[in-house]
Structure 1
Amino acid sequence: MSATSPAPALAPAPAPAPAPAPAPAPAGPAVPTDHPPDPNPNPIPIPNPNPNPNPNHPSSSDTTAAADAAPIEPAASIQFPQDDDADSVLGGESVNSTESLSASIFEYRALHGRTYQANRDYWAPNDEQQSEGLDILHHAFVMLLGDQLFLAPIGDNPGRVLDVGTGTGIWAIDFADQFPGAEVIGTDITATQPTWVPPNLKFMIDDCLQEWTWPENHFDFVHLRGMYGSITDWAEL
Protein backbone atom coordinates (compact mmCIF):
# COMPACT_ATOMS: atom_id res chain seq x y z
CA MET A 1 0.00 0.00 0.00
CA SER A 2 1.53 3.23 -1.06
CA ALA A 3 1.73 6.21 1.40
CA THR A 4 -0.22 9.36 0.60
CA SER A 5 1.53 12.79 0.75
CA PRO A 6 0.07 15.44 3.14
CA ALA A 7 -2.00 18.27 1.75
CA PRO A 8 -0.08 21.52 1.22
CA ALA A 9 -0.55 24.23 3.96
CA LEU A 10 -2.63 27.25 3.05
CA ALA A 11 -0.90 30.70 3.00
CA PRO A 12 -2.30 33.28 5.51
CA ALA A 13 -4.57 35.98 4.18
CA PRO A 14 -2.82 39.30 3.55
CA ALA A 15 -3.33 42.03 6.25
CA PRO A 16 -5.58 44.92 5.24
CA ALA A 17 -3.83 48.07 4.03
CA PRO A 18 -3.51 50.85 6.66
CA ALA A 19 -5.92 53.75 6.41
CA PRO A 20 -4.39 56.99 5.10
CA ALA A 21 -3.42 59.52 7.82
CA PRO A 22 -5.68 62.64 8.05
CA ALA A 23 -4.37 65.83 6.57
CA PRO A 24 -2.76 68.10 9.19
CA ALA A 25 -4.79 71.13 10.37
CA PRO A 26 -3.53 74.53 9.27
CA ALA A 27 -1.19 76.29 11.73
CA GLY A 28 -2.62 78.95 14.06
CA PRO A 29 -4.61 79.17 17.28
CA ALA A 30 -7.76 77.23 17.58
CA VAL A 31 -10.83 79.38 17.09
CA PRO A 32 -13.98 78.56 19.03
CA THR A 33 -16.92 78.01 16.79
CA ASP A 34 -19.31 80.11 18.93
CA HIS A 35 -17.16 83.33 19.02
CA PRO A 36 -15.78 85.44 16.17
CA PRO A 37 -12.00 85.41 15.75
CA ASP A 38 -9.98 88.02 17.71
CA PRO A 39 -8.31 90.35 15.21
CA ASN A 40 -5.60 91.15 17.81
CA PRO A 41 -4.34 87.91 19.43
CA ASN A 42 -1.84 89.78 21.66
CA PRO A 43 -3.68 92.89 22.96
CA ILE A 44 -1.84 95.57 24.97
CA PRO A 45 -3.89 96.97 27.87
CA ILE A 46 -4.82 100.64 27.39
CA PRO A 47 -5.29 102.71 30.56
CA ASN A 48 -8.78 104.12 31.02
CA PRO A 49 -8.60 107.94 30.90
CA ASN A 50 -11.83 108.10 32.91
CA PRO A 51 -11.61 105.67 35.83
CA ASN A 52 -14.99 106.74 37.14
CA PRO A 53 -17.58 104.36 35.68
CA ASN A 54 -20.46 106.70 36.50
CA PRO A 55 -21.24 108.80 33.42
CA ASN A 56 -23.02 111.38 35.58
CA HIS A 57 -19.72 112.42 37.17
CA PRO A 58 -17.11 114.00 34.91
CA SER A 59 -13.51 112.93 35.00
CA SER A 60 -10.86 114.95 36.81
CA SER A 61 -9.48 116.21 33.53
CA ASP A 62 -12.92 117.43 32.49
CA THR A 63 -13.39 119.11 35.87
CA THR A 64 -10.00 120.80 35.66
CA ALA A 65 -10.72 122.05 32.17
CA ALA A 66 -14.09 123.39 33.28
CA ALA A 67 -12.52 125.12 36.28
CA ASP A 68 -9.87 126.74 34.10
CA ALA A 69 -12.51 128.02 31.75
CA ALA A 70 -14.83 129.34 34.49
CA PRO A 71 -14.58 133.07 35.22
CA ILE A 72 -13.15 134.16 38.58
CA GLU A 73 -15.66 136.03 40.70
CA PRO A 74 -14.11 139.02 42.45
CA ALA A 75 -16.52 138.85 45.37
CA ALA A 76 -18.63 136.18 47.00
CA SER A 77 -22.08 136.85 48.36
CA ILE A 78 -22.30 135.58 51.94
CA GLN A 79 -25.66 135.64 53.70
CA PHE A 80 -25.59 136.40 57.41
CA PRO A 81 -28.47 134.81 59.34
CA GLN A 82 -30.62 137.33 61.18
CA ASP A 83 -32.94 136.69 64.11
CA ASP A 84 -36.62 137.43 63.59
CA ASP A 85 -36.48 140.23 66.16
CA ALA A 86 -33.13 141.64 65.07
CA ASP A 87 -34.71 144.95 64.07
CA SER A 88 -36.16 145.43 67.56
CA VAL A 89 -32.77 146.67 68.72
CA LEU A 90 -33.23 149.86 66.76
CA GLY A 91 -36.73 150.66 67.96
CA GLY A 92 -37.66 154.16 66.85
CA GLU A 93 -34.12 155.48 66.89
CA SER A 94 -32.07 156.86 64.04
CA VAL A 95 -30.70 154.39 61.53
CA ASN A 96 -28.21 156.67 59.80
CA SER A 97 -25.14 154.56 60.56
CA THR A 98 -27.01 151.28 60.09
CA GLU A 99 -28.04 151.93 56.49
CA SER A 100 -25.28 149.50 55.55
CA LEU A 101 -27.73 146.70 56.36
CA SER A 102 -28.38 146.45 52.64
CA ALA A 103 -27.45 143.30 50.75
CA SER A 104 -24.09 144.77 49.76
CA ILE A 105 -22.80 144.42 53.32
CA PHE A 106 -22.63 140.65 52.78
CA GLU A 107 -20.51 140.87 49.62
CA TYR A 108 -16.84 140.12 50.21
CA ARG A 109 -13.92 140.64 47.85
CA ALA A 110 -11.13 138.09 47.55
CA LEU A 111 -7.49 139.16 47.41
CA HIS A 112 -4.49 136.80 47.57
CA GLY A 113 -6.55 134.03 49.09
CA ARG A 114 -8.14 136.24 51.81
CA THR A 115 -11.57 137.86 51.92
CA TYR A 116 -12.23 141.53 52.72
CA GLN A 117 -15.25 143.74 53.17
CA ALA A 118 -16.40 144.75 49.70
CA ASN A 119 -17.99 148.13 50.42
CA ARG A 120 -15.47 149.52 52.93
CA ASP A 121 -11.83 150.47 52.53
CA TYR A 122 -10.74 148.48 55.57
CA TRP A 123 -7.27 146.97 55.79
CA ALA A 124 -7.99 143.75 57.71
CA PRO A 125 -9.48 140.55 56.26
CA ASN A 126 -12.75 139.15 57.56
CA ASP A 127 -12.22 135.44 56.96
CA GLU A 128 -11.90 132.50 59.34
CA GLN A 129 -8.16 132.97 59.74
CA GLN A 130 -8.69 136.55 60.89
CA SER A 131 -11.45 135.48 63.28
CA GLU A 132 -9.15 132.95 64.93
CA GLY A 133 -6.51 135.64 65.38
CA LEU A 134 -9.03 138.02 66.97
CA ASP A 135 -10.14 135.35 69.46
CA ILE A 136 -6.52 134.68 70.42
CA LEU A 137 -5.95 138.42 70.86
CA HIS A 138 -9.01 138.59 73.11
CA HIS A 139 -7.54 136.03 75.49
CA ALA A 140 -4.26 137.97 75.48
CA PHE A 141 -6.11 141.15 76.50
CA VAL A 142 -7.91 139.32 79.31
CA MET A 143 -4.64 137.93 80.65
CA LEU A 144 -3.04 141.38 80.39
CA LEU A 145 -5.85 142.86 82.51
CA GLY A 146 -5.49 140.20 85.20
CA ASP A 147 -8.30 137.91 83.98
CA GLN A 148 -10.69 140.84 83.64
CA LEU A 149 -12.74 142.01 80.67
CA PHE A 150 -12.37 145.72 81.54
CA LEU A 151 -10.99 148.12 84.16
CA ALA A 152 -13.74 150.78 84.16
CA PRO A 153 -15.62 151.22 87.49
CA ILE A 154 -19.09 150.42 86.16
CA GLY A 155 -20.47 148.64 89.23
CA ASP A 156 -22.55 145.49 89.33
CA ASN A 157 -25.47 146.70 87.16
CA PRO A 158 -24.03 148.28 84.02
CA GLY A 159 -27.40 148.61 82.27
CA ARG A 160 -26.98 149.30 78.54
CA VAL A 161 -23.57 148.34 77.12
CA LEU A 162 -22.18 148.91 73.62
CA ASP A 163 -19.19 147.05 72.19
CA VAL A 164 -17.90 149.03 69.18
CA GLY A 165 -15.95 146.99 66.62
CA THR A 166 -17.05 143.75 68.24
CA GLY A 167 -15.31 141.57 65.62
CA THR A 168 -16.15 137.95 66.38
CA GLY A 169 -18.22 139.12 69.35
CA ILE A 170 -16.19 137.16 71.88
CA TRP A 171 -15.83 140.08 74.34
CA ALA A 172 -19.54 140.91 74.14
CA ILE A 173 -20.45 137.26 74.72
CA ASP A 174 -18.22 137.01 77.79
CA PHE A 175 -19.56 140.31 79.13
CA ALA A 176 -23.19 139.27 78.61
CA ASP A 177 -22.50 136.01 80.45
CA GLN A 178 -20.85 137.87 83.33
CA PHE A 179 -23.69 140.43 83.57
CA PRO A 180 -26.93 138.65 82.62
CA GLY A 181 -28.97 141.68 83.68
CA ALA A 182 -27.24 144.01 81.21
CA GLU A 183 -28.47 144.80 77.71
CA VAL A 184 -25.42 144.29 75.48
CA ILE A 185 -25.11 145.32 71.82
CA GLY A 186 -22.09 144.52 69.65
CA THR A 187 -21.56 146.43 66.40
CA ASP A 188 -19.24 145.91 63.45
CA ILE A 189 -19.13 146.50 59.70
CA THR A 190 -18.66 142.77 59.02
CA ALA A 191 -21.13 140.03 59.89
CA THR A 192 -18.75 137.46 61.37
CA GLN A 193 -20.45 136.98 64.73
CA PRO A 194 -22.06 133.71 65.86
CA THR A 195 -25.81 133.21 66.06
CA TRP A 196 -25.86 131.30 69.36
CA VAL A 197 -25.40 134.08 71.92
CA PRO A 198 -26.68 134.91 75.41
CA PRO A 199 -30.29 136.16 75.45
CA ASN A 200 -29.21 139.62 76.63
CA LEU A 201 -26.87 140.16 73.66
CA LYS A 202 -27.57 141.34 70.12
CA PHE A 203 -25.24 142.02 67.20
CA MET A 204 -25.78 144.78 64.66
CA ILE A 205 -24.10 145.87 61.44
CA ASP A 206 -23.11 149.46 62.16
CA ASP A 207 -20.37 151.84 61.03
CA CYS A 208 -19.07 153.93 63.92
CA LEU A 209 -17.55 156.42 61.45
CA GLN A 210 -21.02 157.46 60.28
CA GLU A 211 -23.55 159.56 62.17
CA TRP A 212 -24.28 158.14 65.64
CA THR A 213 -27.21 155.75 65.65
CA TRP A 214 -28.48 156.10 69.22
CA PRO A 215 -29.53 159.13 71.27
CA GLU A 216 -27.00 160.93 73.42
CA ASN A 217 -26.18 159.26 76.74
CA HIS A 218 -28.08 156.15 75.70
CA PHE A 219 -25.44 153.69 76.96
CA ASP A 220 -24.02 153.31 80.45
CA PHE A 221 -20.79 151.71 79.24
CA VAL A 222 -19.16 151.91 75.79
CA HIS A 223 -16.32 149.47 75.14
CA LEU A 224 -13.83 149.83 72.29
CA ARG A 225 -10.50 148.14 71.67
CA GLY A 226 -8.26 146.91 68.85
CA MET A 227 -9.50 149.56 66.41
CA TYR A 228 -6.03 150.42 65.13
CA GLY A 229 -6.18 151.42 61.47
CA SER A 230 -9.96 151.84 61.63
CA ILE A 231 -10.52 155.32 63.07
CA THR A 232 -9.40 158.22 60.90
CA ASP A 233 -10.26 160.97 63.43
CA TRP A 234 -10.34 159.93 67.08
CA ALA A 235 -11.37 163.39 68.27
CA GLU A 236 -14.41 163.39 66.01
CA LEU A 237 -15.35 159.89 67.12
Structure 2
Amino acid sequence: MNTTLIRSTLCATALAVAVSGCADMNATQRGTATGAGVGAGLGAILGATTGGGGGGRAAGGAVLGAAAGAVVGNIWSKRMEQQRQQMEAATRGTGVQVSQTSDNRLKLEIPSDISFDTNRSDIKPNFRPILDRFATTLQDNPATYVTIIGHTDSTGGDGINQPLSLDRASHARDYLASRGVAASRITVEGRAAREPIASNEDPAGRARNRRVEIFVTEPATQG
Protein backbone atom coordinates (compact mmCIF):
# COMPACT_ATOMS: atom_id res chain seq x y z
CA MET A 1 0.00 0.00 0.00
CA ASN A 2 1.57 3.33 -1.03
CA THR A 3 1.90 6.46 1.10
CA THR A 4 -0.84 8.35 -0.75
CA LEU A 5 -3.29 5.51 -0.23
CA ILE A 6 -2.47 5.32 3.47
CA ARG A 7 -2.99 9.07 3.89
CA SER A 8 -6.29 9.00 1.96
CA THR A 9 -7.64 6.08 3.95
CA LEU A 10 -6.58 7.50 7.31
CA CYS A 11 -8.06 10.89 6.50
CA ALA A 12 -11.36 9.36 5.43
CA THR A 13 -11.55 7.25 8.58
CA ALA A 14 -10.69 10.22 10.78
CA LEU A 15 -13.39 12.23 9.04
CA ALA A 16 -15.98 9.57 9.73
CA VAL A 17 -15.09 9.42 13.41
CA ALA A 18 -14.65 13.13 14.00
CA VAL A 19 -17.64 14.37 12.05
CA SER A 20 -20.04 11.73 13.35
CA GLY A 21 -19.09 12.73 16.87
CA CYS A 22 -19.90 16.43 16.53
CA ALA A 23 -22.16 17.51 19.35
CA ASP A 24 -24.28 19.82 17.22
CA MET A 25 -25.16 17.15 14.65
CA ASN A 26 -28.47 15.36 14.77
CA ALA A 27 -28.70 11.59 14.25
CA THR A 28 -29.60 11.94 10.58
CA GLN A 29 -26.51 14.02 9.84
CA ARG A 30 -24.26 11.71 11.86
CA GLY A 31 -25.48 8.65 9.97
CA THR A 32 -24.89 10.26 6.59
CA ALA A 33 -21.48 11.68 7.59
CA THR A 34 -20.29 8.32 8.89
CA GLY A 35 -21.42 6.60 5.72
CA ALA A 36 -19.60 9.19 3.64
CA GLY A 37 -16.35 8.78 5.60
CA VAL A 38 -16.40 4.98 5.41
CA GLY A 39 -17.27 5.19 1.72
CA ALA A 40 -14.36 7.53 1.14
CA GLY A 41 -11.94 5.09 2.75
CA LEU A 42 -13.20 2.21 0.64
CA GLY A 43 -13.11 4.38 -2.45
CA ALA A 44 -9.51 5.33 -1.80
CA ILE A 45 -8.50 1.69 -1.48
CA LEU A 46 -10.34 0.70 -4.65
CA GLY A 47 -8.98 3.70 -6.55
CA ALA A 48 -5.40 2.88 -5.70
CA THR A 49 -5.66 -0.85 -6.42
CA THR A 50 -7.46 -0.81 -9.77
CA GLY A 51 -4.70 0.38 -12.04
CA GLY A 52 -2.38 3.33 -12.56
CA GLY A 53 -2.87 6.91 -11.59
CA GLY A 54 -1.30 6.77 -8.11
CA GLY A 55 -2.45 9.49 -5.73
CA GLY A 56 -4.86 11.04 -8.22
CA ARG A 57 -6.75 7.79 -8.61
CA ALA A 58 -6.85 7.22 -4.85
CA ALA A 59 -8.14 10.73 -4.23
CA GLY A 60 -10.76 10.34 -6.96
CA GLY A 61 -11.84 7.04 -5.46
CA ALA A 62 -12.21 8.69 -2.07
CA VAL A 63 -14.51 11.36 -3.51
CA LEU A 64 -16.68 8.82 -5.30
CA GLY A 65 -16.70 6.56 -2.26
CA ALA A 66 -17.81 9.43 -0.04
CA ALA A 67 -20.75 10.11 -2.32
CA ALA A 68 -21.73 6.45 -2.35
CA GLY A 69 -21.36 6.19 1.43
CA ALA A 70 -23.64 9.18 1.93
CA VAL A 71 -26.28 7.48 -0.20
CA VAL A 72 -26.20 4.12 1.57
CA GLY A 73 -26.08 5.41 5.16
CA ASN A 74 -29.12 4.98 7.40
CA ILE A 75 -30.95 7.98 8.80
CA TRP A 76 -32.82 8.47 12.04
CA SER A 77 -35.75 10.62 10.99
CA LYS A 78 -38.57 12.05 13.07
CA ARG A 79 -40.71 9.15 11.86
CA MET A 80 -38.14 6.66 13.12
CA GLU A 81 -38.04 8.35 16.51
CA GLN A 82 -41.84 8.35 16.65
CA GLN A 83 -41.84 4.66 15.76
CA ARG A 84 -39.38 3.93 18.55
CA GLN A 85 -41.50 5.81 21.08
CA GLN A 86 -44.67 4.08 19.91
CA MET A 87 -43.12 0.63 20.18
CA GLU A 88 -41.68 1.42 23.60
CA ALA A 89 -45.16 2.36 24.77
CA ALA A 90 -46.75 -0.69 23.14
CA THR A 91 -44.25 -3.15 24.67
CA ARG A 92 -43.75 -1.59 28.10
CA GLY A 93 -43.75 -4.31 30.75
CA THR A 94 -43.63 -7.17 28.25
CA GLY A 95 -39.87 -7.81 28.29
CA VAL A 96 -39.39 -6.64 24.71
CA GLN A 97 -36.31 -4.45 24.35
CA VAL A 98 -36.64 -1.46 22.00
CA SER A 99 -33.54 0.53 21.08
CA GLN A 100 -31.72 2.61 18.47
CA THR A 101 -28.56 0.93 17.21
CA SER A 102 -25.28 2.72 16.51
CA ASP A 103 -25.96 2.55 12.76
CA ASN A 104 -29.40 4.19 13.11
CA ARG A 105 -31.61 1.13 13.02
CA LEU A 106 -34.61 0.54 15.25
CA LYS A 107 -34.18 -2.78 17.05
CA LEU A 108 -36.82 -4.89 18.76
CA GLU A 109 -35.56 -7.88 20.73
CA ILE A 110 -38.41 -10.26 21.54
CA PRO A 111 -37.71 -13.01 24.09
CA SER A 112 -39.00 -16.55 23.61
CA ASP A 113 -41.54 -16.41 26.44
CA ILE A 114 -43.43 -13.84 24.36
CA SER A 115 -42.80 -14.94 20.80
CA PHE A 116 -42.61 -18.73 20.36
CA ASP A 117 -42.94 -21.88 22.42
CA THR A 118 -39.96 -24.25 22.64
CA ASN A 119 -39.37 -26.10 19.36
CA ARG A 120 -42.32 -24.32 17.75
CA SER A 121 -42.52 -21.63 15.09
CA ASP A 122 -46.18 -20.64 15.36
CA ILE A 123 -46.70 -17.20 16.90
CA LYS A 124 -47.94 -17.15 20.49
CA PRO A 125 -51.13 -15.18 21.21
CA ASN A 126 -49.37 -12.57 23.36
CA PHE A 127 -46.94 -11.82 20.51
CA ARG A 128 -49.74 -10.87 18.13
CA PRO A 129 -50.73 -7.51 19.70
CA ILE A 130 -47.07 -6.44 19.55
CA LEU A 131 -46.88 -7.34 15.86
CA ASP A 132 -50.22 -5.62 15.25
CA ARG A 133 -48.90 -2.38 16.68
CA PHE A 134 -45.60 -2.81 14.87
CA ALA A 135 -47.42 -3.26 11.55
CA THR A 136 -49.23 0.02 12.12
CA THR A 137 -45.98 1.89 12.71
CA LEU A 138 -44.52 0.38 9.54
CA GLN A 139 -47.50 1.56 7.52
CA ASP A 140 -47.01 5.04 8.98
CA ASN A 141 -43.39 5.03 7.77
CA PRO A 142 -43.41 3.37 4.31
CA ALA A 143 -39.80 4.37 3.53
CA THR A 144 -38.45 1.75 5.94
CA TYR A 145 -37.29 -1.82 5.44
CA VAL A 146 -37.40 -4.65 7.96
CA THR A 147 -35.02 -7.50 8.76
CA ILE A 148 -36.29 -10.27 11.05
CA ILE A 149 -33.71 -12.66 12.51
CA GLY A 150 -34.57 -15.83 14.40
CA HIS A 151 -32.26 -17.31 17.03
CA THR A 152 -32.28 -20.53 19.06
CA ASP A 153 -30.33 -21.99 21.95
CA SER A 154 -27.75 -24.72 21.35
CA THR A 155 -30.06 -27.62 22.21
CA GLY A 156 -30.81 -29.94 19.32
CA GLY A 157 -28.02 -29.15 16.88
CA ASP A 158 -27.84 -26.99 13.77
CA GLY A 159 -29.83 -29.43 11.64
CA ILE A 160 -32.89 -28.65 13.77
CA ASN A 161 -32.12 -25.13 14.91
CA GLN A 162 -31.33 -23.56 11.54
CA PRO A 163 -34.71 -24.30 9.91
CA LEU A 164 -36.48 -23.56 13.20
CA SER A 165 -34.89 -20.12 13.51
CA LEU A 166 -35.72 -19.33 9.87
CA ASP A 167 -39.31 -20.57 10.28
CA ARG A 168 -39.81 -18.28 13.26
CA ALA A 169 -38.59 -15.26 11.31
CA SER A 170 -40.73 -16.27 8.34
CA HIS A 171 -43.87 -16.64 10.47
CA ALA A 172 -43.32 -13.15 11.89
CA ARG A 173 -42.93 -11.80 8.35
CA ASP A 174 -46.09 -13.57 7.18
CA TYR A 175 -48.03 -12.17 10.11
CA LEU A 176 -46.92 -8.62 9.32
CA ALA A 177 -47.83 -9.19 5.67
CA SER A 178 -51.30 -10.30 6.74
CA ARG A 179 -51.63 -6.94 8.51
CA GLY A 180 -50.91 -4.98 5.33
CA VAL A 181 -47.11 -4.63 5.34
CA ALA A 182 -45.66 -5.44 1.90
CA ALA A 183 -43.63 -8.64 2.10
CA SER A 184 -41.11 -7.08 -0.30
CA ARG A 185 -40.07 -4.73 2.53
CA ILE A 186 -39.15 -7.63 4.81
CA THR A 187 -36.03 -9.81 4.82
CA VAL A 188 -35.83 -12.89 7.03
CA GLU A 189 -32.80 -14.74 8.35
CA GLY A 190 -32.18 -17.71 10.61
CA ARG A 191 -29.04 -17.70 12.74
CA ALA A 192 -29.74 -20.88 14.75
CA ALA A 193 -27.47 -20.87 17.85
CA ARG A 194 -24.55 -19.04 16.24
CA GLU A 195 -25.08 -15.69 17.97
CA PRO A 196 -25.82 -16.33 21.66
CA ILE A 197 -26.24 -13.39 24.02
CA ALA A 198 -25.98 -15.57 27.13
CA SER A 199 -24.51 -18.88 28.21
CA ASN A 200 -26.20 -22.03 26.92
CA GLU A 201 -25.05 -23.89 30.03
CA ASP A 202 -28.13 -23.09 32.11
CA PRO A 203 -31.90 -22.75 31.48
CA ALA A 204 -31.96 -18.99 32.05
CA GLY A 205 -29.22 -18.42 29.48
CA ARG A 206 -30.84 -20.71 26.93
CA ALA A 207 -34.13 -18.86 27.36
CA ARG A 208 -32.41 -15.55 26.56
CA ASN A 209 -30.81 -17.02 23.45
CA ARG A 210 -34.16 -18.20 22.09
CA ARG A 211 -35.31 -14.89 20.64
CA VAL A 212 -36.37 -12.95 17.60
CA GLU A 213 -34.68 -9.68 16.61
CA ILE A 214 -36.42 -7.20 14.33
CA PHE A 215 -34.50 -4.35 12.73
CA VAL A 216 -36.07 -1.37 10.95
CA THR A 217 -33.93 0.66 8.56
CA GLU A 218 -34.64 3.93 6.78
CA PRO A 219 -31.95 4.30 4.13
CA ALA A 220 -30.63 7.74 3.31
CA THR A 221 -31.56 8.80 -0.22
CA GLN A 222 -29.26 11.78 -0.55
CA GLY A 223 -26.02 13.13 0.88
What TM-score do the two structures reach when normalised by structure 1?
0.23
What TM-score do the two structures reach when normalised by structure 2?
0.24
Which has the larger helix fraction? 2
Higher Cα radius of gyration = 1
